[in-house]
Amino acid sequence: MLLTASSLNLSKLFPFLSPSPSRSISKAAKARRELAKIPPPPPPKPSYFDKSTFSEKPFFKQELLHQSTKPGSSARITKITTPHGSFLTPSFVAVATNGALKGLTIKGARESNQDLIFCNSYHLLLQPGPEIIKGAGGLHEFMGMKEEDGTLGPLITDSGGFQVFSLKYGTVYEDLKTENRDGSFNSELDKTKEKGELKRAVQKQKKPSDPSGRRKNPVKVTEEGVIFTSYRDGKKVLLTPESTIKAQKDYGSDIIIPLDELPSYDTDLEELERSVEMTHRWEGRSLVEHYKNVKDQAIYGVIHGGVDKPLRSKSLKYLTSLPFDGFCIGGSLGGNRAEMVEMLKHVMSEYHTTEVTQFKRIKPLHLLGIADEASISETVSLGIDTYDSCFPTRLARHGTLLTRTGKLHIKSGKHSKSYGVPIDEECGCETCERYDRAYLNHLLKAREPVFYELATRHNLRYMNDYMAGLREKIMNNEI
């Protein structure tokens, strides 16, 4: 039998772990210290799972529509079908952090051709909480998605681990910070840097929080899970592989992601190995919890290993041996885009070999948290199916608009009299069809809230048009 936090029956071994209001988390911590003395169980082997779990699920499937014949390319066009709709890949996934796209309604997102949407479990866990979302009938109902008006569509949720480990390192940058919010550069040196959305956990220097000069870490990692402090009420929260899966069951999302650890970019090899092993145990426990009640949800495993190729290979080999319905590439991929592309070439080559020799079919591959144009253009030929990021919506809020001729910083005075000139002549979004640059320049300078809607609507439409263009090139074997 697989040893997990639940199968060990921790409440009997250590009464302080029982879910009683009278038990403080400090007392539970003492019991966890005792538990920590027990060597962690190995992650589950494939034989632990029923053979039926390895089969393609009737509610979730990926169909290959076209495989590029261009020499050296693994680019493909597929159709992924979920209980709440289907979508073509490669595709961009917009991020609705709190169950809402910042600055745009779900109807506006659909009008921008947005299909799959990503919601963050960490934020939803703290506000409003899984029980509230479950009471509404799940995230789709809670977010107002309706089949009759065309707003119903697939959702993917994560475990919350990325945000929790962001707290551990002080901050996590989702892109290389080479531009200011208004699009200007900090220095001449910055202009030479390669820009891209590369997740790097970095230590943010803060003032000491106590006389000893030591800064208290808001995150504690144990074999059981992660304890962190809620940014909303200051309470301690325990996040475990099982609890994140249960929360995502309440959300009712179409695709769910297990709990994983995010080591920093400069983590040494010994610590990185420890992290990968624990992540495998956590993902195994998550998978066990998932198959207790599948609820027509697909689950993706997260391939880790940082910037170490052997560890990436080890993680891929183990996780692809388990009955996950798809996979993500997570963790730090390098310090610049060149490192990222090199690592992705390594991972994707082994992944496609596994599809042929082991799966005997294709399975979706998602790149977590990276979706700027440059990174997509350099990696889409590797056969990555989906990319998520808050990149276009964040840019929109700060006045940077995406166009076929490059980024447009609409706050610049040169646009104040650009009468009759849309953001992008080739764009068919409502913003471009109805409003000109002069008006948008005015709205941003006047801080009118409607600007954020109009800018976000355009940037999402641009990204989805961009992905449609890539699919057309793949279909023509140009990529």
Give the E-state strand segments of 55-110 in sequence order: 61-67, 76-82, 85-89, 91-95
What SS3 class is residue 407?
A: strand
Please tell me the distance from the alpha carbon of residue 318 to that of residue 80, in angstroms, as a whole number: 24
Quote the CA–CA distance of 324 and 81 in Å, as a whole number. Answer: 16
Which of 158, 175, 260, 424 is catalytic? The answer is 158
Which residues neighbour 215 within 8 Å (Cβ) at sequence distance 6 or greater?
206, 208, 209
Tokens (6 digits) for 227:
């304890």
52 CB-contact burial (10 Å; exposed 0-12 / middle 13-18 / buried 19+) = exposed
| Tokens at 233, concatenated | 């009420």
**Are 296 and 83 in contact, with CB atoms under 8 Å apart?**
yes
Which 8-state DSSP code applies to residue 254? S
Q: How many residues does the chain have?
A: 479
Extended strands (E) in 122-216:
155-157, 170-173, 200-203
User: Are the C-beta atoms of residues 77 and 65 closer than 8 Å to each other?
Assistant: yes
The verdict on whether 158 is a catalytic residue reads yes
- 115, 254, 388, 424: the active-site residue: 388
Taking the C-alpha atoms of 31, 158, 55 and 77 in order, what is their torsion angle to the nearest 10 degrees?
-160
Q: CA-CA distances (angstroms) from residue 195 to 166, 179, 221, 335, 371?
A: 21, 9, 32, 11, 12
418 neighbors 436 (Cβ within 8 angstroms) = yes
Name 117's bridge partners.
94, 155
CA within 13 Å, CB half, 312:
22
Q: Which residues are catalytic?
A: 158, 388
